[in-house]
Amino acid sequence: MAERFEMESKFRGESLVRRGLLRETRSGKQVRIMPDLNVIKIGGHGVIDYGRDVIYPLVEEIGELSRNNKVLVATGGGVRVRHILDVGIDLGMPTGVLAELAGKISEQNAIMMSILFSKYNGTRIHTDDLLNLPSLISLGMLPVVQGTPPYGLYEHPPKLGSIPPHRTDTGAFLMAEVVGGKNCILGKNVDGLYTENPFVNPDAEFIPEITADELIEMEMEDMVLEPKAVELLRDAVHVTEIKIVNAHVPGNITKAVNGERVGTLIRA
């Protein structure tokens, strides 16, 4: 029997699935590319779709923040994503195709938001440009990227239904994690996380702080962020919390960036 050609490596002969090996790799220190970066996700459905009355003041707030803070803006998709998912599901599109379609909508929002940030050196970047962030921000740019993670046709099958599980909340979190960012802030149209949808039940209880495990154990029927982002938070190396704030309230994003208590804090 022919012998396999090997290269000297600590992983020589490994299947790369052995649990003991995986535990060993967890102890390795990872580089934090941008430990001062604030990833601010502007929701599509909860923020952008409200138009200029909400967006114009928010652009000014985030733009001014970017003068003294390192900021990456990520955009959601909004009502147009919901429409294309509805049509796509009706036509029998696979989940991977739905993810591909949804990403094109959040890309449209990234283009518009980058233009609105023009006076703050806003520039639209793509999801594979993240390693250019240190250079772009050092040049005084305010990068804007679509929030949909680039799984595309390779999107994972969801546990329930056919809607892609990795959407823009998850994308913002993954971007913050891979560059070792300081903050992952999700801008929404509610004050934070509630026990139920507060638009449906005005008596829903506000949750100011909770761990990812506690939130998952609640098995909520509905919540303000994607479950996948909460699941991934438990295994993150760098980003140990997600902040959910009401982006309709002037000053909330600034408070979150500065470490003040506002909205909901989800801890790993």
Q: How confident is the model at residue 124 (pLDDT cuts 50, 70, 90)?
A: very high
Among residues 158, 205, 168, 176, which one has the least CA distance to residue 72? 176
Residue range 223-242: mean pLDDT, rounded: 96
Range of weakest confidence among 9-13, 95-99, 126-130: 9-13
| pLDDT at residue 258, rounded to an integer | 96
SS (H, E, C) 50-117: HCHHHHHHHHHHHHHHHHHCEEEEEECCCHHHHHHHHHHHHCCCCHHHHHHHHHHHHHHHHHHHHHHC
| pLDDT at residue 13, rounded to an integer | 77
Provide the strand spans (E) within the chain. Answer: 37-42, 70-75, 122-124, 142-146, 183-188, 193-194, 206-207, 209-211, 241-246, 264-267
pLDDT at 100 over 80: yes
Residue range 9-30: mean pLDDT, rounded: 82
Q: How confident is the model at residue 267 (pLDDT cuts 50, 70, 90)?
A: very high
Among residues 28, 53, 57, 58, which one has the least CA distance to residue 41? 58
Q: What is the pLDDT of residues 58-88, one digit of tens each?
A: 999 999 999 999 999 999 999 999 999 999 9
Percent of the chain with pLDDT over 90: 89
Q: What is the pLDDT of residues 142-163, one digit of tens each?
A: 999 999 999 999 999 999 999 9
